[in-house]
């Protein structure tokens, strides 16, 4: 009797696997796989699953996720264990919990924000960012107030009720100019929210813009570790200042957003644990996270991008830690994975921010290489986005999409306040 070793391909929860299998060639020429080989095959398949962490979620991981859901608090060592131990199985368990929590507060609703990138001039020189001051290859632009108002008008017609004015740290936009712009937007569209994402400004400036009518402010902390912050930024920028701005914004009354990149150079599970601890302390209404993506004209050009899987895992953790947070499925996630937006929502996110900037500006606002600004990422293709969101069981709604405090929860009220588009 002779043997022939073949490979057979099986599909299990860890994907397609090639299994070596010995086939006995019987004297009459017929082929038969030995029972022992069949046992080996089962064992091998189980090992594949284990290797991918597909079958079993470790007791500790489950306990930590359960504890997080129940208490919304973990210690640093516990965060590190969760982050280091993340696997396909623990992610699926986490995402199921995150969806339940999100559903209790926001139902199946996905909020949309019209993102207007008003300027790519920036006085800062962050090592990761494509619009940093030192990038002489960046083609600079800034939008005039009339152009911004035209974007808002266009967005309003498309169904947007929140406008995010985002830009580099550009002194052209004085408090007076911005206040006049915000007043104008609010006058024309009193039913809309205005979000600012214009970097570090003085407390007086934040106050002034808030009294002009700005509702929300996005300012990612980028990393909550002092030493890591110094690896990502030039010495003139400090984590202390960034944190101070964030606490000021909250105190003034803005719905405040922070966040960080996943996989930025030098980041380990310990830095991520610090990010989560800081966010717990800040208790922001919004948290934006996305994978780091290198830009070819920055000092981090050769660095590897962050992981989509880890980003999704962190979205799930954020949903359990800050149940009512507005969490976007970010453009960076969509850039690295064509289904990043959907995966983000299924991991616990509840916001998407299509690009509403003038088309000519979009390609110039390149924070990182290959930044997505077409298809479902662009405001004009809202229909495509709606279909994609619907396909995974959620619905894009037109409403300001404000933060819902858990104590404010009243499901009946909530249902009637949202109009599906
Ligand atoms: N990769 C991913 N995200 C980036 N950002 C800036 N540069 C990059 C990059 N290379 C993010 C920062 C910033 C937000 C506007 O964009 O976190 O706060």
Render pLDDT for 149-171 as a digit per residue (tens, 0 to 9). Answer: 999 999 999 999 999 999 999 99
Helix, strand or coil, per DSSP, at residue 324: coil
Vertex 333: Cα angle to 114 and 372 (nearest 5): 60
CB-facing half-sphere around the CA of 405: CA atoms within 13 A: 4
Task: Look at ligand 1, atom 14, and give the residue with the nearest C-alpha.
Answer: 220
In a mutational test of the pocket of ligand 1, which residue from 290, 307, 334 has the highest number of ligand atoms less than 8 Å from its CB? 290
- Cβ proximity of 291 and 329 under 8 Å: no
Rounded to the nearest whole angstrom, what is the distance from the C-alpha of residue 47 to the centroid of ligand 1?
Answer: 38
What pLDDT, on a 0 to 100 scale, did the predictor assign at position 28? 55
d(CA 386, CA 344): 15
Q: What share of the chain is helix, strand, coil (3-state, %, to 5)?
A: 45, 20, 35
Q: What is the pTM of this model?
A: 0.85
Closest residue by CA, ligand 1 atom 2: 292
What span, in angstroms and rounded, lies between the C-alpha atoms of 193 and 113? 9
- pLDDT given at position 376: 78
Write out the H or E segment, with its range, that includes residue 115.
strand 114-119
What's the confidence (pLDDT) of residue 410? 56
Q: What are the helix (H) ranges across 140-215?
A: 145-158, 175-188, 203-212
Which residues of the chain fall below pLDDT 50? 1-27, 31-54, 413-421
388-405: buried (b, 16+ CB within 10 Å) or exposed (e) per residue? bbeeeebebbbbbbbbbe
The answer to whether the CB of 342 falls within 8 A of the CB of 304 is no
Q: Identify the pLDDT of residue 32.
A: 47
Give dist(CA 148, CA 114) in Å, integer.
11
At residue 377, the pLDDT reads 78
Q: Is 332 in the pocket of ligand 1 (CB under 6 A)?
A: yes
**Residue among 117, 128, 134, 288 to mutate when testing ligand 1 (max atoms within 8 A of CB):** 128
Which ligand 1 atom minimizes the distance to the CA of 129? Answer: 7
Ligand 1 centroid, distance to 260 Cα (angstroms): 8
């Amino acid at each position: 009797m002779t043997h022939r070793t073949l490979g057979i391909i099986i599909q299990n929860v860890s994907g397609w696997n090639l299994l070596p299998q010995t086939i006995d060639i019987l004297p009459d020429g017929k082929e038969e796989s030995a029972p022992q080989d069949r046992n080996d095959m089962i064992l091998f398949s189980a090992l594949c699953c284990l290797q991918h962490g597909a079958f079993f979620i470790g007791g500790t991981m489950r306990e930590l996720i359960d504890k997080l859901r129940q208490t919304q608090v973990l210690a640093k060592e516990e965060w590190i264990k969760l982050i280091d131990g993340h696997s396909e199985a623990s992610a699926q368990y986490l995402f199921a919990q995150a969806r339940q929590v999100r559903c209790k507060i926001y139902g199946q609703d996905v909020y949309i924000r019209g993102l207007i990138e008003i300027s790519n001039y920036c006085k800062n020189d962050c090592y990761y960012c494509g619009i940093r001051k030192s990038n002489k290859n960046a083609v600079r632009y800034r939008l005039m107030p009339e152009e911004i108002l035209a974007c808002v008008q266009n967005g309003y017609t498309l169904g947007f009720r929140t406008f995010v004015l985002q830009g580099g740290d550009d002194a052209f936009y004085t408090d007076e100019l911005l206040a006049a712009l915000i007043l104008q937007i609010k006058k024309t569209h009193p039913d809309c929210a205005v979000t600012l994402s214009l970097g570090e400004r003085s407390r007086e400036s934040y106050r002034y813009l808030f009294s002009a009518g700005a509702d929300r402010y996005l300012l990612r902390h980028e990393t909550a570790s002092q030493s890591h912050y110094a690896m990502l930024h030039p010495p003139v920028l400090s984590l202390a200042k960034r944190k101070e701005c964030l606490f000021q914004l909250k105190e003034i009354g803005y719905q405040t957003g922070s966040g960080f990149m996943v996989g930025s150079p030098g980041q380990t599970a310990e830095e991520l644990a610090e990010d989560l601890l800081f966010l717990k302390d800040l208790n922001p209404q919004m948290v934006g996270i996305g994978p780091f993506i290198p830009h070819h004209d920055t000092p981090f050009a050769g660095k590897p991008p962050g992981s989509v899987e880890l980003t999704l895992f962190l979205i799930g953790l954020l949903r359990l830690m800050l149940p009512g947070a507005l969490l976007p499925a970010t453009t960076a996630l969509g850039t690295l994975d064509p289904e990043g937006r959907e995966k983000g929502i299924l991991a616990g996110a509840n916001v998407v921010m299509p690009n509403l900037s003038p088309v000519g500006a979009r390609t110039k606002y390149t924070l990182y290489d290959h930044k997505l600004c077409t298809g479902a990422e662009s405001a004009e293709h809202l229909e495509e986005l709606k279909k994609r969101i619907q396909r995974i069981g959620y619905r894009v709604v037109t409403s300001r999409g404000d933060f819902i405090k858990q104590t404010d929860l009243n499901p009946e009220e909530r249902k009637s306040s949202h109009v599906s588009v």
